[in-house]
Amino acid sequence: MDKRRRLLANGPPPYGGRFERTHTAGEILDRFPELEGSSVRIAGRLRSIRRQGKVTFADLQDGGRRIQLFCRVNTMGEAAYGLLDDLDIGDIVGVAGQVMRTRTGQESVEVTGIELLTKSLRPLPEKWHGLKDVELRYRQRYVDLIVNPGVRDVFVARSKAVAAIRRFLTERGFLEVETPMLNPIPGGANARPFITHHNALDMDLYMRIAPELYLKRLLVGGFDKVFEIGKNFRNEGISTKHNPEYTAVEVYEAYADARDMMRLTEELFAYVAAEVTGGTVITFQGTRIDLTPPWPRLSMTEAVARYTGVDFDAIATDEQARAAARSKGVEVDKQATRGKVLAEMFEELVEPHLIQPVFIVDYPVEVSPLAKRKDDDPGLTDRFEPYINGWEVANGFSELNDPVDQRERFLRQLEQRAAGDEEAHMMDEDFLRALEVGMPPAGGLGIGVDRLVMLLTDSPSIRDVILFPHMRPRDLV
RNA sequence: GUGCCCGUGGCGCAACGGUAGCGCAAGGGACUUUUAAUCCCUGGGUUGUGGGUUCGAAUCCCACCGGGCACACCA
C-alpha cells in the first residue's frame, strides 16, 4: 500500500490502459528461432524477480506460459532501470524489448522499456509450493489459476469439450435451443428443486432440474432434432460427483429411438475425447478406459445376475424380490416393487463394477416415468444409461409419447409424493396437453458434462472441473 | 444429515503440556547472465471462535464456525 501511494504520488497511475502487444509469451517460446533478434511487445504478470544490482531477471507469465525478462541498466538507461525498484511479484506489466538468449541459453526478452499496467496489492502464494489449501483454491480460484500449473489446462479442456459437443451435434443437424431455467413446475428428473420468487408476479418459481419437458414440447412443435447445453439445479447434497448446479446437454431426435441414441452417445463420447485428449483411450486415476465404440449393451437384469447371482427372470412377485435383496444385504423399502428392488440392487451392487463403458438397458417402468415401455415387456422401459468408471454419465430412452400412459405415470408419481417422496414428479398438465397435440416418436439423451470433463481431464472431484464450486459463504479477513 | 480427519504470520510447513520457529513473500543494504540466484540486516502471529481442565494450553476436553474425505441423499 505504501508503494501504491508512492507510485500515485510520483508518476502515472498504476492501473494503465491499452497496451499494444505484438506477441504472447507462448508465441515467442514456440517460434523462438524465427523471432530471435526481433522487437516485441508483450504483457503479463510478474511471477519472480531476481535483482542483481545493475542487472535484473524476471519471469513474465502470460496465458499460462512463462518467459524470462532480462533487464540491463546499459540497455534501459538509469531512469528506466530505476522503475524496476517499484515492481513486485504479481504486478502486471507491459514490456518492449528484443527476443534473445542469455549466456546460459535461456529464451528471454531483453527489455528496453517496461510499463506498470496493474499494481498487485496482495502477495501471491509461496513460489514453489503454490496454493495447496483446497478451500482457498476454490474460494480464490483467481489465485489458484495464477499459481497452480495445470488448473488452467483443465478449464481449457472443458471449453474444448463443450465446443466439441456443440460441433458434433450441430454438424449432425441438431438445432441448439434455450428453454426456461425459471419453471412454474420443475420436471424431467427425480430431484428436489430450488425455490425462488418472482416479485412482480408474486409467485414462487423453481429453478429447473432438467430441460426435458420443454425440449419435448419443441418436438411437438416440429423441431425434429434439438439440443440444449446448460445448467440444472438440484437441491441435494454436495460430493465429489455432485454440485448443486451442474451442466448437462440434452438431445432429442424425432423418429429415432433408444438404440439410435446409444449410437449417438458412444460416438459423441469418442469424438469429444479425441478432440480433447487426442485419442479415445483415456487414463483415469491410473485406470485405462477405452471409449472406442461400440460399447457393450447389458440389460439391468443381466447385470444384476452377473454381479450378484440373483436372477430376476425367476422372480415374479414383489415379496420374492425384497427377499432376494435382503439376502444380499441390500435394504429396501417394505413397499418396494420388483422393479424398484431390481434398480436398487443394481445401483448398490453392480454400479461400482462398471469401469469400462457399458450401456445398461431395460429399466423398470417404476423408476422411469418418462420413458416408453418395451413392446414385449410392459414392466420395462426402452431406457439406457451408459456407465464409465462406475459413474452414470448419461441417461436416455425412447420417449413416452402416449398422453394417457404419461398421465398414469404422473399419477403414480403423485402417489409417491404424497407418501413423502419429495423427489417424485409433479403433475404437468401443459406437458400432457402437448402430448395430446401429438409428439412424434423420439429418442432422447442427457449427458452430464461435468463428469465427462472429469474423465477427460483425470480430475477426481467435480470441483476440479467447476471454476467456482459451491461453498458456504465465509467472512473475508 | 452421520462418522473420521484438518484449521499455527500473505503462502508452504514445524513445535504436539513448559519462552511460537523455519522457508518463501515483504522492508533495508551488496552484487552487470540469474533462473528455488547468493550474502548481511529488519519487521510481521492474543495458533479459526467461545468456554473448560491445568501452576502453565497451539498442544488435552466441550461447543460452535469453515474445509476435506467417506457414507447417506442423489440420475
Would you state the pLDDT for residue A4? Answer: 56
Least confident segment among A5-14, A65-74, A195-204, A395-404: A5-14
3-state secondary structure chain A: CHHHHHHHHHCCCCECCCCCCCCCHHHHHHCHHHHCCCEEEEEEEEEEEEECCCEEEEEEEECCEEEEEEEEHHHHCHHHHHHHHHCCCCCEEEEEEEEEECCCCCEEEEEEEEEEEECCCCCCCCCCCCCCCHHHHHHCHHHHHHHCCCHHHHHHHHHHHHHHHHHHHHHCCCEECCCCCEECCCCCCCCCCCEEEECCCCEEEEECCCCHHHHHHHHHCCCCEEEEEEEEECCCCCECCECCEEEEEEEEEECCCHHHHHHHHHHHHHHHHHHHHCCCEEEECCEEEECCCCCCEEEHHHHHHHHHCCCHHHCCCHHHHHHHHHHCCCCCCCCCCHHHHHHHHHHHHHHHHCCCCEEEEEEEHHHCCCECEECCEEEEEEEEEEEECCEECEEEEEECCCHHHHHHHHHHHHHHHHCCCCCCCCCCHHHHHHHHHHCCCEEEEEEEHHHHHHHHHCCCCHHHCCCCCCCCCCCCC
Chain B positions within 7 A of any protein Cβ atom are 1, 10-13, 23-27, 30-38, 65-75
Which of the four pLDDT bands, split at 50, 70 and 90, describes residue A7?
low
Res. A16 pLDDT band, cuts 50 70 90: confident
For A164-185, the pLDDT digits (tens) are: 999 999 999 999 999 999 999 9
- Mean pLDDT in residue range A322-344: 87
The amino acid occupying position A258 is: A
Kindly report which listed range (A76-80, A125-129, A226-230, A449-453) carries the lowest average pLDDT score: A125-129
Between these two residues, A12 and A377, which has the higher pLDDT value? A377
Please tell me the predicted confidence (pLDDT) of residue A13.
Answer: 64
CB A453 within 8 A of CB A459: yes
The three cell numbers locating residue A92:
502486471
Q: How far is CA A58 from CA A74, A102, A193, A307, A327, in A?
A: 17, 13, 51, 59, 68
Note the CA–C1' distance, A240 to B66, in angstroms.
18
Q: How confident is the model at residue A395 (pLDDT cuts 50, 70, 90)?
A: very high
Instruction: Name the pTM for this structure.
Output: 0.93
What's the alpha-carbon Rg for chain A, to the nearest Å? 29
Average pLDDT of the residues in A220-230: 97
Instruction: Kindly report the average pLDDT of chain A as a whole number.
Output: 92
- pLDDT score of A1: 45
**Whether the predicted pLDDT of A459 surpasses 80:** yes
Q: In the complex, which nucleotide's C1' lies nearest to the CA atom of residue A55?
A: B32
Tally of CB atoms within 10 A around A274? 15
Q: Is the dihedral of CA A266, A447, A406, A402 positive or negative?
A: negative
Q: Which residues in window 232-291 of A are less than 7 A from strand B by Cβ?
A: 234, 236-237, 239-242
Pick from A207, A216, A212, A154: nearest CA to A181: A207
**pLDDT digits over A409-439, tens only?**
999 999 988 888 888 999 999 999 999 999 9
Query: Looking at the predicted structure, is the pLDDT value of residue A8 above 70?
Result: no
The β-bridge relationship of strands A182-183 and A39-51 is unpaired
The residue among A403, A468, A400 whose CA lies nearest residue A430 is A403
Q: What per-residue confidence (pLDDT) applies to A174?
A: 98
Question: What ipTM did this prediction achieve?
Answer: 0.91
Strand B at less than 7 A from CB of A398: no
Question: Residues A89-109: what's their mean pLDDT?
Answer: 96
- Report the nucleotide nearest the CA of residue A470, measured to C1': B67
Query: Cα separation of A421 and A191, whole Å?
Result: 10
CA of A12 to C1' of B74 (A): 55
Question: With 60 as the cut, is the pLDDT of residue A9 above it?
Answer: no
Name the nearest CA neighbour of A320 among A342, A298, A304: A342
Is beta strand A225-233 parallel, antiparallel or unpaired with respect to A245-254? antiparallel
pLDDT at A329: 83
Residue A379, pLDDT above cutoff 50: yes
Contact assessment for residue A361 and residue A383, using Cβ atoms and an 8 Å cutoff: yes
Residue A171: predicted pLDDT: 98
Position A129 scores a pLDDT of 87
pLDDT for A25-83, tens place per residue?
Answer: 999 999 999 999 999 999 999 999 999 999 999 999 999 999 999 999 999 999 999 98
Euclidean distance between the first and final Cα of chain A, in Å? 17
A89: Cβ under 7 Å from strand B?
A: yes
d(C-alpha A398, C-alpha A374), whole Å: 9
Per-residue confidence band for A477, with pLDDT thresholds at 50, 70 and 90: very low
| Mean pLDDT confidence for A125-142 | 90
Contact flag, residue A359 CB and nucleic strand B, below 7 A: no
Of the candidates A44, A33, A86, A90, the residue with the CA atom closest to the CA atom of residue A69: A44
Encode pLDDT of A298-322 as tens digits: 999 999 999 999 999 999 999 999 9
A56 or A285, which is more confident? Answer: A56
Residues 184-223 of A with CB under 7 A from strand B: 189-191
**What value does the mean pLDDT take over residues A349-366?**
93
Q: How far apart are CA A177 and CA A226, in angstroms?
A: 7
What percentage of chain A carries pLDDT values higher than 90? 82
Residues facing A444 on adjacent strands: A252, A397
**pLDDT at residue A2, rounded to an integer:** 54
User: What does the alpha-carbon distance between residue A45 and residue A42 come to, in Å, rounded to a whole number?
Assistant: 10
Compare A16 and A404 and report the one with higher pLDDT: A404
The pLDDT score that the predictor gives to residue A422 is 84
Q: How far apart are CA A107 and CA A97, in angstroms?
A: 13
Name every residue whose Cβ is closer than 8 Å to that of residue A281 and which is 6 or more positions away in sequence. A288, A289, A290, A291, A292
pLDDT of residue A238: 87
Nucleotide nearest to A241 (CA to C1'): B74
Interatomic separation, CA of residue A133 and C1' of nucleotide B59, rounded (Å): 22
CB A290 within 8 A of CB A357: yes
